[in-house]
Amino acid sequence: MKLVFLGSGSAFTVGSNNFHSNILLVDELNNNLLIDCGSDIRFSLHKAGYSYVDITDIYISHLHCDHAGGLEYIGLSTLFDEKCDKPNLYLSKDIGSTLWSNSLSGGMGIIEGDLADINTFFRINSIDSDGSFLWQQIKFDLVKVIHVDGKYLVMPSYGLFFKIGENQIFITTDTKFCFSLLEKYYAQATIIFQDCEISINKTPVHSHYNELVTLPDHIKNKMWLYGYQPGTLPPAKKDGFQGFVECGQIFEL
């Protein structure tokens, strides 16, 4: 089993050195689960030697474009390619209820000769916000994190916690720095992939390096950082982290 970081950059990463933080989990039989599908997925898949043909299962953590903006590419490409089955799409119920109406219907609602809905393109696997789903006998628990607090409405994202062999893996997806909420997952995990921005002007919607560096050493030393902006990276290894994930980096699990 391997985890391929198709990209490890932030939403507005520009240039050919990195892509959106979308991850491909590949098993020994070459079954693939794509964890988030951003708007540059066609480029990042191509660079890693894959294409839409390989994408049979997709998990979406939330509806920002760097996580869900590539679904039009995958949906339309697979629908009109007879080699492809309809991809499975795993997502929490709240995200599933708005994905079509708020994000996809504009570009995908009308196809030649017919009207379409989300079931035209994907097999939907709707998950409770504290639920889980199975893929290739692996159980993925959803971890609800706080991403954007709009005062009246909160946009959550759903991280993933799962076990492969002796590895207990926690992928935060986009999240504010929220130690009290995530402490138990940080404690249980043997390897953590943590959203981390590095910008001088800190945003309120991501975990910043300057916050993460205050975590205890026993957490930092199992933590890989991703989702960062272009620019000079802080000395993560010196500060006790595993490091910053590079674009294309592969983790054997």
Q: Which residues bind Zn ion (CB under 5 A)?
A: 64, 174
> By C-beta, is 64 or 176 nearer to Zn ion?
64
> By C-beta, is 18 or 78 nearer to Zn ion?
18
To Zn ion, the closest distance from the beta carbon of 252 in angstroms equals 28
To Zn ion, the closest distance from the beta carbon of 149 in angstroms equals 13
For 211-253, give the DSSP string. HHTTS-HHHHTTEEEESBPSSPPP-TTTTTS-EEPPTT-EEE-
Rg of the Cα atoms in the chain: 18
The span from the CA of 52 to the CA of 48, in Å, is 12
To Zn ion, the closest distance from the beta carbon of 196 in angstroms equals 13
Contact call for residues 14 and 45 (beta carbons, < 8 A) = no
Containing H/E element for 4?
Answer: strand 2-5
Contact call for residues 162 and 141 (beta carbons, < 8 A) = yes
> By C-beta, is 57 or 174 nearer to Zn ion?
174
To Zn ion, the closest distance from the beta carbon of 70 in angstroms equals 14
To Zn ion, the closest distance from the beta carbon of 244 in angstroms equals 18
The span from the CA of 214 to the CA of 190, in Å, is 19
How far CA 61 is from CA of 37, 41, 129, in Å, comes to 9, 15, 11
> By C-beta, is 50 or 94 nearer to Zn ion?
94
> By C-beta, is 118 or 205 nearer to Zn ion?
205
The span from the CA of 243 to the CA of 146, in Å, is 24
Contact call for residues 20 and 38 (beta carbons, < 8 A) = yes
To Zn ion, the closest distance from the beta carbon of 111 in angstroms equals 29
> By C-beta, is 40 or 174 nearer to Zn ion?
174
> By C-beta, is 57 or 195 nearer to Zn ion?
195
To Zn ion, the closest distance from the beta carbon of 64 in angstroms equals 3
The 3-class SS string of 73-107 reads HHHHHHHCCCCCCCCEEEEEHHHHHHHHHHHHHHH
